[in-house]
Amino acid sequence: MENTSYIALSRQSALWREMEVVANNMANTNTPSYKAEQVMFRDFMVKTKTDSTPFGRKVDFVQDAGLLRDTREGPMSQTGAPLDISIHNEGYFVVDTPSGPRYSREGHFRLDETGMVVNSAGYPLMQTSGQPIVFAPNETQITVSGDGTVSTENGTIGQIRVVKFGNEQNLQNAGSGMFMTNDTPTNIDRPQLVQGMLEQSNVQPVTEMTNMMTILRNYEGVQKLIDEESTRQQQALKILSQTQSQSA
């Protein structure tokens, strides 16, 4: 008798999780290089046994299977800052952290007090040589070419390392616009970088708002089903109680 309520509750929990993801997308509409996410669901079959079905009956629940990241490139905005760098098409920057390499498409970099190029979290941007990029105090004319070659008025310093992965869905969020993974990256020898521009979020606010309203309607519909099922069970118990009293 309670299977209907359990199935409805599993659907309601899934909708709640989906609403959290949509709300997070909305909150990151203006976050540079943010990639929209969506929840993936699957059926979860459970065999139940009752007095009327001693050999069991399959009951279909809803299960949260994970997140799918929209890896499509976001729109570009021009900033004119020499250390704002965007990646066109595929690829990720590599930054060095105490926990190991992290990967990001967020290209807003700056110089720290030592002249090293670091990201917003203060971690150094890496070259293809495996070393960070460091400018001398008197170097002011910073140029980043399309293939990632970094140079100043004193000559070439190095090339920004840009990598790709066989399956970008294996990248896990590491905070501050960075990702981590156990997969081995592949270097992109000739990336497509643009200096003075930043990739923006690929979230589409109108789409996410529509998703939010749809989820809300579905959630209310499931809640109505749960309420009606509860009322039905109470009425059934009342009738059964009256029948037993009369037979006694």
Q: What confidence score (pLDDT) does residue 60 get?
A: 60
Shared domain check, 177 and 150: yes
Digit-coded pLDDT (tens) for 56-114: 456 566 666 788 999 999 999 999 999 999 999 999 999 999 999 999 999 999 999 99
Same domain, 82 and 192: yes
- Per-residue confidence (pLDDT) for residue 8, from 0 to 100: 78
pLDDT of residue 24: 96
pLDDT (0 to 100) of residue 20: 94
Domain shared by 16 and 91, yes or no: no
**Is the same domain home to 84 and 166?**
yes
For residues 176-186, average pLDDT: 95
Report in angstroms the alpha-carbon separations of 197 from 29, 122, 161.
17, 20, 18
Please state whether 72 falls in left (phi above 0), alpha (psi between -120 and 50) or beta.
beta
**Number of domains into which the chain is organized:** 2
Q: What angle, 0 to 180 degrees and rounded to 10, lies between the N-to-C axes of helices 205-247 and 3-27?
A: 160
Question: Residue 229's pLDDT is what?
Answer: 74
Report DSSP letters for 38-98, one per residue.
EEEEEEEEEEE--SS-TT-EEEEEEEEEEEEE--PPPPEEE---TTBEEE-SS-EEEEEET
Biggest alpha carbon distance in the chain?
103
Write out pLDDT tens, residues 206-226: 999 999 999 999 988 888 877
Query: Residue 161 and residue 138: Cα distance in Å, rounded?
Result: 24
Between 236 and 132, name the one with better pLDDT: 132
Q: What is the pLDDT of residues 123-169, one digit of tens each?
A: 999 999 999 999 999 898 999 999 999 999 999 999 999 999 999 99
Tokens of 182: 């156990």
* 95 and 172, same domain (yes or no): yes
Same domain, 239 and 184: no
Phi, psi of 169 (to 5 degrees): -70, -15
Residue 57: both structure tokens together: 């009956």
Are residues 193 and 81 part of one domain? yes
pLDDT-derived band at 234 (thresholds 50, 70, 90) equals: confident
Give the pLDDT confidence score for residue 11 in this predicted structure: 81
Angle at 61 between CA 58 and CA 62, to 5 degrees: 150
Distance between CA 220 and CA 15 in Å, rounded?
10
| Range with lowest mean pLDDT among 49-53, 119-123, 192-196, 202-206 | 49-53
| More confident site: 150 or 53 | 150
Q: Which domain holds residue 126?
A: 76-199
Q: Are residues 24 and 48 in the same domain?
A: yes
* Alpha carbon distance 144, 36 (integer Å): 28
Q: How high is the pLDDT of residue 44?
A: 53
Q: Are residues 216 and 103 part of one domain?
A: no
Are 178 and 222 in the same domain? no
d(CA 163, CA 178): 13
Task: Give yes or no: residues 129 and 21 share one domain.
Answer: no
